[in-house]
Structure 1
Amino acid sequence: MTKQTWLITGCSSGFGELFVRQLTAQGDQVVATGRNAETRLAHLKETGAAILDLDVTAPQAEIEKKFKEAWDIYGTIDVLVNNAGYIQCGAMEEITQEELQRSFDTMVHGPINLTRAALPYFRERGSGWLLYMNSQSGFVGEPGATAYCASKFAIEGAVESLSKELAWLAPGIKPLIIESGIHGTEIMANLQHVTPRVPFWQPLNDAARTRGRGNYENPAGDAADMISKVIQIVKGTGVGAGREIPLRIPFGSDCLSEMREKIKQLQKTYDEWESVAISTDYEEGKRPMPRLPGVE
């Protein structure tokens, strides 16, 4: 099996920690990152991973310096794993702009800035993996999860655009979105709940707390097994052997079920509204010719 070098964000627990432990056990080189890394990632030093302090919400210039620092540790990076994240709960009316911005800084701007930092290195080499640890919440909206779903939807759209750019001009660089259902990690134990501001939404906030506890205590999926399979996909072994890897791969029966139900509802809407949708098209032969700006 080919050994690789991985840069992983959000390694203090959950998926990030599992990546570090499984990859180093296989002999791969890992740069494990997180905020306040010397203390929050101290438990990973025994794995042999390089530990690097990295706040994904830092400005672009600082992110680029950190990526170069990570690259220089081993002289390469083969796989960038954008994993850092958290769940901010609360209805849209109660979520403040600042709370929404923090979610976007962590789960949209952070991964995009790191991607920008990685691309010059990957383009020069002609290869590299860009992993985005996402969620079913990037495709299916959830009540009481405005900030989380909005950020997860946003990164899905950005990476889909990136995938088409790369397919055109840099096909050796592979983006991959992992859409995860509920797996057994600490993220559900560390939900951030909005400060109650509108009494009307208190039942929703109470339900979010109850659901979060239930998901933490009785997750649908095995997180370690999922990460093992994600690694296999990148390496082209196990479940990834001989397969063409798509842009998105879902994990968890709960995720798959919700996505299929939404697709079914979308298809129903498209079928029922097709005649209205196409009614605004120009008639054949009457479509105006496109003009360049400033050209008559």
Structure 2
Amino acid sequence: MATQDKQTWFITGCSSGFGEQFVRQLRALGDNVVATGRNADTKLAHLKDTGATILDLDVTAPQAELNEKFQQAIDIYGGVDVLVNNAGYLQCGAVEELTKEEMERTLDVNFHGPINLTRAALPHFRSKGSQGKGLLIYMSSQSGFYGEPGGSAYCASKFALEGAVESLAKELAWLAPGIKPLLIQPGVFSTEVMNNINHVPHRVEFWRPLNDAARVRGAGNYRNEPGNAVDMIAKVIQIAKGIGIAEGKEIPLRVPFGSYCVGFLREKLREIRQTLDDWEEIARSADYPERQAPMPTFPG
């Protein structure tokens, strides 16, 4: 449903990039914004003149602390309408070189953080009417469906997020259809992310060419990104409000952004279709002929 009424947004990772754009554009529209980030007093100081409420928040904090921060936002504005899970961490390196701790750090920020904040938000959203009401936005990536060399940690975290949110969407459609999840899948956009890649040190000489190439690629993309972050966030806000480009449209679970992302998505779809064409008969031949598992069905 289209709405231009004032909304209250809770946004993570607001120090720069997409998060900062959400804050500035939403405040320009007159919406209430709770802008969060680590070391907020310094890293979010440049947003104070927007009139947004600034809260210090590390998305890897324990669940109780995330619950408390979300409740603080509710207490300030009387409620929250939209949660934007934007905070991210980009670790780059070959699988053999990455440590378990580095993989866990990436998963803690990119997967557990958004899911834990979802747990903080859902009780509030469910309380808003008989079927609940609220929007859960997840800033995913083309890396949520397309694996790349050197990107295993980041891709793993985004693949995990996509799977969890797809399941969540089906749970909510069954029992709380007024609460909507939305996965945004950007390609390479004009943010600081390419300047903030955490590259592994050269631990295994065999992988040095790959790591060197990853560094060159990141440096080459920085300040040369094909995607316009300002324009993209403006469109995401329109989708969230059901206005502009989203007027009269049924919004899907996933919305890709950028030609870079669309190209990878089409390539992945081509690969999947080719695999099905080549292997479907063999795949089906592994069934017991006399058995047929029922497809899951849910009321509603």
Per the shorter chain, which TM-score range? over 0.9
2:42 is matched with 39
SS at match of 2:70: helix
- Which of 102, 106, 109 is matched with 1:99 structurally? 102
User: 1:289 & 1:236 partners in 2: Cα distance?
Assistant: 39
Aligned to 1:280: 286
2-side partners of 1:288 and 1:81: how far apart? 41
- Structure 1: unaligned runs, 5 residues or longer: 291-296
Equivalent position to 1:242, from 216, 227, 248: 248
What CA distance in whole angstroms lies between the structure 1 residues aligned with 2:153 and 2:121?
Answer: 27
Distance (Å, rounded) in 1 between the aligned partners of 2:104 and 2:148? 18
CA distance in 1, matches of 2:235, 2:98: 35
The CA deviation at 1:217 is 2.5
- Aligned-partner residue type, residue 274 of structure 1: E
Q: Say which SS state the counterpart of residue 174 (structure 1) adopts.
A: strand
Q: Distance in 2 between matches of 1:270 and 1:3?
A: 47
Provide the rounded CA distance (Å) in 2 between the counterparts of 1:3 and 1:213: 40
CA distance in 1, matches of 2:242, 2:166: 22
Q: Provide structure 2 residue ranges, at least 5 long, that are not aligned to the other structure.
A: 295-300
Distance 2:166 2:30 in 1: 32
Which position in structure 2 is the counterpart of 1:49?
52
Deviations for 1:161-220, whole angstroms, at most 9, x for unmatched residues? 000000000000000000000010001111110121101101111111111111113111
The aligned residue for residue 10 of structure 1 is 13
What whole-Å deviation, never above 9, does each CA across 1:220-244 have from its counterpart, x for those lacking one? 1100000000000011111111100
Residue by residue over 1:258-291, the C-alpha shift from the partner in whole angstroms, topping out at 9 and shown as x without a partner, is: 110110111001110011100011113xx3999x
Amino acid at match of 1:207: A
Q: Match for residue 211 of structure 1?
A: 217
Separation of aligned partners in 2, 1:288 and 1:278: 11
Q: How does 1:37-116 map to 2 (within 5 A)?
A: 37-116=40-119
**Secondary structure of 1:156 counterpart:** helix
State which drifts further: 23-32 or 214-223.
214-223
Identify the match of residue 22 of structure 2 among 19, 25, 28.
19
Q: Distance in 1 between matches of 2:289 and 2:103?
A: 43
The number of residue pairs the alignment matches comes to 288
Alignment RMSD:
1.2
Amino acid at match of 1:54: L
For the residues of structure 2 that align with 1:235 and 1:13, how far apart are their CA atoms? 23
Residue type matched to 2:161 in 1? Answer: I
TM-score (norm. length: structure 2): 0.94
Q: What do the CA deviations read for 1:109-160 (whole angstroms, capped 9, x no partner)?
A: 0000000000000001010000000100000001001110000000000000
Paired amino acid for 2:177: P
1:176 aligns with 2:179: no
User: Which residue identity does 1:146 align to in structure 2?
Assistant: S
Deviation of 1:2 after TM superposition, in Å, equals 1.2
CA distance in 1, matches of 2:257, 2:152: 22
User: Quick one: structure 1 residues 237 and 289, their matched pair in 2 at CA, closer, same or farther if it must change by over 3 Å?
Assistant: closer
| 2:166 corresponds to 1:153 | no
Q: TM-score, normalised by structure 1?
A: 0.96
Cα distance in 2 for partners of 1:289, 1:52 equals 49
> Which runs of structure 2 are paired with 1:182-221 in the superposition (5 Å)?
182-221=188-227
Measured in 1, the distance between the counterparts of 2:74 and 2:41 equals 19
Hey, what does 2:298 align to over in structure 1? none
Identity %: 68
Q: Name the SS of the counterpart of 2:185 in structure 1.
A: strand
132-141 or 66-75, which deviates more: 66-75
Aligned letter for 1:62? E
Q: Give the 3 Å change call, closer, same or farther, for CA 26–288 of structure 1 in structure 2.
A: closer
Partners of 2:95 and 2:73 in 1: how far apart? 38
Instruction: Look up the equivalent residue of 2:243 and give its one-letter code.
Output: T
